[in-house]
């Protein structure tokens, strides 16, 4: 659901003060994830919205989110979003399936900008892609246990049969840069086996880390299963919102991508550059607590 957001916003208690600021087309988009996974969403923003400035925050000191309690995940989101607002973000993309499933329903109306989550866009895309109505979901354990994707898919298509598997080992493998390793391939086979046995023909990559394993996953599930990356639909929704509010950046001048992490800048830049396919430089380390 799209809320109408005023271009005049009041950002409350950011840095201990209340301030008014004007959101303009030149204001950046904020993107955050627990690590490098959200770079798959950034890549989609680069493709669909090539003129936009972006602030990317990887909360690498607290990765993974999938093993944390719902209370912890909500608290973390309430620390991240004010930081992005302080940097001038005009819209925020939760480039994290776990945050989208658990924190978004709780905090979606707490801030003066639109927050895009991954659950609704991913579910809608999967329902459209599936011919049989048998849809698979792979995500963090927290996301799977929340039933967010399962409930949304059934809301969109009552007769859908949804199979979901938590994949806790994927994020650590990707964060270590082991995307093409034999270990990753074996782990993927084990996770995907029950979904294939259930006859799925569409598979939601319910964590933004997982598109980095798309080649391996597709080789295992075969051409008859459509992989659904929620990022594509989420960024389409982002574009519509920016167009509706008149804050989309259309000029083709220089744009900036600023990166922040809560952990090691060197590790993030090394692995992130390989996953993004572009050099990441100038990353700043910050503390959110």
pLDDT digits (tens, 9 = 90+) for 15-41: 333 334 578 999 999 999 999 999 999
Q: What was the pLDDT predicted at 66? A: 86
- Whether 167 is a known active-site residue: answer no
Residue 18 has what pLDDT? Answer: 34
* CA atoms of 165 and 175, how far apart (whole Å): 20
In this prediction the pTM is 0.88
Q: Which two tokens stand for residue 237?
A: 């929704």
Task: Quote the pLDDT of residue 254.
Answer: 75
Query: What gap in Å lies between CA 34 and CA 17, rounded to an integer?
Result: 27
Set 11, 49, 92, 96: catalytic member: 96
Q: Where are the domains of the chain?
A: 8-117+232-285, 120-230
Out of 137, 160, 207, 271, the active site residue is 207
Q: Among 118, 277, 282, which Cα is nearest to 212's?
A: 277
Tokens of 130: 């599936």
Q: Do domains 8-117+232-285 and 120-230 have the same CATH topology?
A: yes
CB atoms within 10 A of CB 246: 10
State which residues of the chain have pLDDT below 70: 1-21
H helices of the chain, in order, are 39-48, 70-86, 97-102, 104-107, 119-129, 141-146, 148-156, 170-175, 182-197, 214-221, 230-245, 265-276
Cα–Cα distance for residue pair 88/71, rounded to 1 Å: 27
**Tokens linked to 122:** 């991913």
Using an 8 Å Cβ cutoff, are 7 and 23 in contact? Answer: yes
Token pair belonging to 196: 């294939």
pLDDT at 159: 97
Question: What are the Cα distances from residue 283, in Å, to 205, 263, 266, 271, 286?
Answer: 27, 11, 8, 13, 10
| SS3 state of residue 228 | strand
CATH topology of domain 8-117+232-285: Rossmann fold (3.40.50)
> Could you tell me the fold of the domain covering 120-230?
Rossmann fold (3.40.50)
Strand partners of residue 163: 136
Continuous segment of H or E residues that includes residue 11: strand 8-14
């Amino acid at each position: 659901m799209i809320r109408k957001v005023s271009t005049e916003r009041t950002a409350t208690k950011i840095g201990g003060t209340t301030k008014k600021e004007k959101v303009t087309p030149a204001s950046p988009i904020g993107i955050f994830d627990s690590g490098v996974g959200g770079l798959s969403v950034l890549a989609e923003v680069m493709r669909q919205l090539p003129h936009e400035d972006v602030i990317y925050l990887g909360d690498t000191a607290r990765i993974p989110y999938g093993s944390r309690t719902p209370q912890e995940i909500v608290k973390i989101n309430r620390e991240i979003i004010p930081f992005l607002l302080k940097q001038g973000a005009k819209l925020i993309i939760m480039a994290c399936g776990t945050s989208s499933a658990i924190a978004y329903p709780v905090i979606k109306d707490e801030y003066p900008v639109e927050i895009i989550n991954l659950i609704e866009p991913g579910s809608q895309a999967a329902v459209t892609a599936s011919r049989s109505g048998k849809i698979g979901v792979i995500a963090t354990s927290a996301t799977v246990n929340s039933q967010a994707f399962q409930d949304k898919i059934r809301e969109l298509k009552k007769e859908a049969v949804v199979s979901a598997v938590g994949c806790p080992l994927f994020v650590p493998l990707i964060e270590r840069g082991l995307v093409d390793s034999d270990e990753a391939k074996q782990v993927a086979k084990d996770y995907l086996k029950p979904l294939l046995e259930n006859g799925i023909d569409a598979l939601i990559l319910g964590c933004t880390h997982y598109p980095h394993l798309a080649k391996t996953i597709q080789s295992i599930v075969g051409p008859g299963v459509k992989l659904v990356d929620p990022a594509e639909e989420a960024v389409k929704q982002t574009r519509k919102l920016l167009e509706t509010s008149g804050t989309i950046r259309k000029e083709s001048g220089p744009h900036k991508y600023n990166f922040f992490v809560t952990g090691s800048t060197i590790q993030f830049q090394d692995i992130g550059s390989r996953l993004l396919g572009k050099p990441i430089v100038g990353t700043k380390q910050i503390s959110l607590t």
